[in-house]
Amino acid sequence: MVLLLLKDDAEIISKALKISLTAAGVPASASAGSRTTAADVVAELLELAEELVNQAGDATSPDEVAARWEDTSARRSLFDRAIVGRLSESDGSYAVVDYLISCYARVGELRSRKSSMLTPELADMYSYVTDLCVSYASIALLNPTMFPQPADVEAEGVLRLLRPLKADSLPQGFLSSLCARLQEEGTLTELGLPLYAKLAEEVGDTKFTILTDFTPAYRALNGLVREKPLGALLATDPNFLGGPLARNGALLQMGARLGPFLGLAVFPSDPALAAACFPDTSSPPILENSMSSLRLSTGVVQRALTNVAKELLKNPEAKEPFFKLIAAACSLNQSRAQQWFPHAESQRLLHAIAPQHIEPPQAMRTYSHDGFMANLAAILLALCEPFTPPDSPHASKIDPSYLLSTHRIDLKDETRLCATADDVMYWLDSRNPDLRQRYLDRLAAEGIVAPDDDDSPPLEVSTSFGTVTEYFFLTMRVLHVGLLPSYSMLEKLQKEYGRWHQDLQIREQELMRLRAGGHHSSGVTAQLEAEVTQLKKWIDAVKQCVLAYQTHLSDPALVTSCVRYFRLVSRWLVATACPPPEGLPLPEKVPRLFAALPEYCMSDVADFLKHITALAPQSFEQMDATELYDFVTLMVTFVGAPRYVKNPYLRATFTKLLCYLVPKKDDDTGRRHASDRLAAVFHSHPLAQKHLAPAIMQFFVDVEFTGSHTSAYDKYEYRQDMSQILEYFWDTPVYKKTMIGFARNTKKFVRFVNMLINDSIYSMNEALTKLASIKQTQSEMADEASWSAMQPRDRQRRTQEYHQYEGHARYFMNFINEVLNMVQYLSSEPEIAQIFMLPELAPRMAVMLNHFLVELVGPKCANLKVKNMEKYHFHPIKLLGEIIATILHFAPFAAFEVAMVRDERSFDANNLRKAARVLGGRLFETTLRPEQLELLEKFAGRCVDAKEREAAYEADLGEVPEEFLDPITAELMQDPVKLPSGHSVDRAVISRHLLSDETDPFSRARCTVEMLIENPELKAQIEEWKASRKVSIHAGASGSSATPMDED
């Protein structure tokens, strides 16, 4: 058989195009292998073969064949005729596009084999054939009826291309060539948009979940956007941003072209997904395996999405639309950052679990789901990775004025760190007289006569922003409205799980009681059994949802990325405050740019740390202590800086992490604490060693008003945290030194101690009151007959009240244990103990200690003997030991003796003696030594003597002139001062009042210690009267003295 074609051309026809021209010397290719698909079967083109034979005639020698095909156009025409012939004569059993893609790949294989022998002419032929494959593939895709194909393939049209895209089997260069051809023809839209729409439709199907095979769809999306024309087509399509109907976050997720891809996650949009992810919640090993598997799947999704984002951002035509998509997700989901969000979203989920038990949501969801926002956050965190390291030079490119612009997001309604909206408007336009007047009015309302920054230049907002700035602030906003609310949602679900579980326990206890009483078949028993069964199902469903949230939010990979990012935010915040080289103190004048920053810039750091130490402590524990350095610097800088951060609740949140970092193994609250390894940051941080302890002691006072609606309750929790921190610092010499230094500032320390006393008295009363209620309820429960005779609902109500009493008792007893311990160790330092004896403190301290003694060893102490006292962290012997130790620290001071005995309401020397007897046999439970009990007995004796002296002194003074009596206490004034209202009061008395309430008690006008006016005239009159009383007393004593009896 004579070959009528060039050898290379014949090889292309037979091996690449799978065409046989037997008559022309081109038989079926032996390289077809075992493939059985119709597109790979060799087809015989008889007509083309006959044409070639006729054209050749007798010129069949190799030289003659070569001469005939010397013209390149003839060779090209051959390949064109061959492909058209193959496609036209097809029996319609295969997809034309599949065949052409295979041809394209096989040509590439031939070309690679000939790489060392490739001539320009042959290279041109290979390129021409691949161009033909692409050209006819475009025709077959856009006009599927042009060539014979199966009916289902014709129906697919351009969607046929999704198959190789999903399998990642397109030969290199094919899609690029196809895009170039279609773009040149102006028909790229007809190919690209249907592909994107179909992929979005598939991924958006409710059956498409994280548990299904999602990788092909994401692989196809990546393959498409890698081609710049297709990436630009996606981003410039109106549906990329959801179109005009995307008026809220939920509609954006539904309508945006990437919405379904971003929404694929473990987060349960409905309980069914959580149930599918965690069908068995009883086995920890199975749960751990499920979490690991789901986290791997989540990582695959997020890496795919990040690759898509990077391709779009590299694409000049797609970059801006992609930024707009992120901005839209932020703007349309602002409601997720509201306080009501966790409640509303949890109720929506709980209603789906228990529709009979939970009210249906009052409105449709208007915000994107947690998964959508979490995946968007993962993308942005990945984009920030290159400039998060501390030594990255790119971080210096961050432009803070981005937050004052409306370039992407309008933040004008956000609360600022230490400025009002009017302030910011004035600073941006200082020449506007109306804005200036509003600014001055605000300053005047705060008692500031004139601004000290009139010479400051106006804030300038950049007109354009670099990529680093865009990434940094868009990430911050997405975390604020997206990821952090998801943590709040998890906390809410956990609380609901605990509440339902408690309800279940109450019902199970009641059911056991009924069954024990023989009421097996009563209607009440049947109803309770049904309720218990139903509750168990609901609780399992809630647990599945909690596990789904934990899977994502406790993922070590996510925690690590967030820690890196928030470390950068911490460094940026400190730098924006313009601290001195040594770090502190901050400038007296707050930089306007810092003051104008949205509060969430800092609160998000605090909230993230609070969430993560509670929800993923194992991930946090894996950090190195040096990684905490930036966070500690942030806290040291601002926890004691109310001028820079006005919201005390924000600063209070920092104490959560500081308390967590304190290694404490015996925390009665059950809270976790970090290891000694992480606490090393306290011992290697010079700024903390110098400034942190005093800042916390000052904040102990400032947190009295946090700005929260629960501030009256929250302050105890925060102060308990601070008490644990300060206790740890007291045992560290460098920190202890600064705490003593703080105490030397008498004015600050007096306020600190006043808060200790206020909180101690209130907490002790609350705790002991609840213990008495617990004891009463326990007595009621012990009377089986009476308890069983109650109506079941009444028993449930009493049981619920009992559990509430238990919670309150634990809460306040924890606090009193911490605070009394603080008073004890602070007063162990003689220099500090002496400050406690100031006139405004000693009487209050004595009243507090006397009151506690009455409660613990007085006549009603038996009311506190509840069952299982340790459950409520009530350790009466240890508590009594702390009180006695504190009394002994003050015992050397005569002022304390006087203060103790002047407490007519609670002082009783017998209480001191009884305390000594109670402690005598149980000293091992305290830190006291036997000789200290002897000192206590002596102090009790001295108090008795002091009491007698006080009584004699008052009797000697007789009736005190009314003008010398303090109008508040009705006691003789020792150091009278005048109030702004004109009333004269004793300095110590009014000082104690002003510590808690800076108002004139008579006019309620503002009043501070500095506003008190010396009253030397009245003081002299009092001293003169006291002297005259002494003279008259002595004179009376001399006149009535008996003469000794003469001895006989």
Q: 931 pLDDT exceeds 90?
A: yes
Q: What percent of the chain has pLDDT over 90?
A: 75
Query: Which tens digit of pLDDT belongs to each residue from 393-419?
Result: 999 999 999 999 998 999 999 999 999
Q: 1043 pLDDT exceeds 50?
A: no
| DSSP designation for 16 | I
How confident is the model at residue 197, as a pLDDT?
97
Mean pLDDT of 116-133: 94
Beta-strand relationship, 976-978 and 19-20: unpaired
Q: 32 pLDDT exceeds 60?
A: no
User: Would you say how long the chain is, in residues?
Assistant: 1048
Q: 1044 pLDDT exceeds 80?
A: no
How confident is the model at residue 356, as a pLDDT?
85
How confident is the model at residue 234, as a pLDDT?
98
How confident is the model at residue 1045, as a pLDDT?
39
Query: Which tens digit of pLDDT belongs to each residue from 635-681?
Result: 999 999 999 999 998 999 898 889 999 987 666 666 778 888 999 99
Phi, psi of 521 (to 5 degrees): -115, 15
Q: Which region among 145-154, 406-415, 579-588, 857-866 has the lowest average model confidence (pLDDT)?
A: 857-866
3-state secondary structure of 794: helix
| DSSP designation for 867 | S
Q: b or e along 25-49 (b: 16 or more beta carbons within 10 Å of the residue's beta carbon)? A: bbbbbeeeeeeeebbbebbbbeebb
d(CA 687, CA 584): 8
Name the residue ranges covered by the structural domains of the chain. Answer: 7-149, 416-460, 772-957, 964-1034
Q: How confident is the model at residue 457 (pLDDT cuts 50, 70, 90)?
A: confident
Q: Which region among 360-374, 541-555, 589-603, 707-721 has the lowest average model confidence (pLDDT)?
A: 707-721
Strand intervals (E) in 293-425 = none
Q: How confident is the model at residue 181 (pLDDT cuts 50, 70, 90)?
A: very high
How confident is the model at residue 707, as a pLDDT?
58
Query: Which tens digit of pLDDT belongs to each residue from 323-375?
Result: 999 999 999 999 999 999 999 999 999 999 999 888 898 889 999 999 999 99
d(CA 23, CA 36): 25
Q: How confident is the model at residue 521 (pLDDT cuts 50, 70, 90)?
A: low
d(CA 660, CA 640): 19
HEC readout, 574-643 = HHHCCCCCCCCCCCCCCCHHHHCCECHHHHHHHHHHHHHHHHCHHHHHCCCHHHHHHHHHHHHHHCCCCC
| DSSP designation for 1042 | P
Residue with tokens 């004699």: 952
Q: What percent of the chain has pLDDT over 70?
A: 95
Q: How confident is the model at residue 35 (pLDDT cuts 50, 70, 90)?
A: very low
Q: 776 pLDDT exceeds 50?
A: yes
How confident is the model at residue 1048, as a pLDDT?
34
Phi, psi of 363 (to 5 degrees): -150, 160
Mean pLDDT of 839-859: 95
Return the CATH superfamily for domain 964-1034: Zinc/RING finger domain, C3HC4 (zinc finger) (3.30.40.10)
Could you tell me which residue, 1039 or 89, shows the higher pLDDT?
89
CA atoms within 13 A on the CB side of 250: 8
Q: Which region among 265-274, 709-718, 897-906, 958-967 has the lowest average model confidence (pLDDT)?
A: 709-718
Residue 225 amino acid letter: V
d(CA 299, CA 439): 50
How confident is the model at residue 1034, as a pLDDT?
60
Q: How confident is the model at residue 1046 (pLDDT cuts 50, 70, 90)?
A: very low
- In sign, the C-alpha dihedral spanning 1010, 1012, 1016, 1019 is negative
Mean pLDDT of 527-555: 95
How confident is the model at residue 704, as a pLDDT?
83
- Which are the contacts of 1041, defined by CB distance < 8 A and separation ≥ 6? none
Asked if 225 contacts 235 with a C-beta cutoff of 8 angstroms, the reply is no
Q: Which region among 64-78, 165-179, 487-501, 702-716 has the lowest average model confidence (pLDDT)?
A: 702-716
Q: 731 pLDDT exceeds 90?
A: yes
Q: How confident is the model at residue 1039 (pLDDT cuts 50, 70, 90)?
A: very low
DSSP string over 869-920: GGGGT--HHHHHHHHHHHHHHHTT-HHHHHHHHT-TTT--HHHHHHHHHHHH
Asked if 137 contacts 177 with a C-beta cutoff of 8 angstroms, the reply is no
How confident is the model at residue 439, as a pLDDT?
81
d(CA 751, CA 995): 6
Query: Which tens digit of pLDDT belongs to each residue from 69-92?
Result: 999 999 999 999 999 999 998 889
Q: Quickly count: other Cβ atoms within 10 Å of residue 206's Cβ.
A: 9
d(CA 889, CA 846): 12
Q: What value does the mean pLDDT of the chain take?
A: 92
Find out whether the peptide bond into 585 is cis, omega within 30 degrees of 0: yes
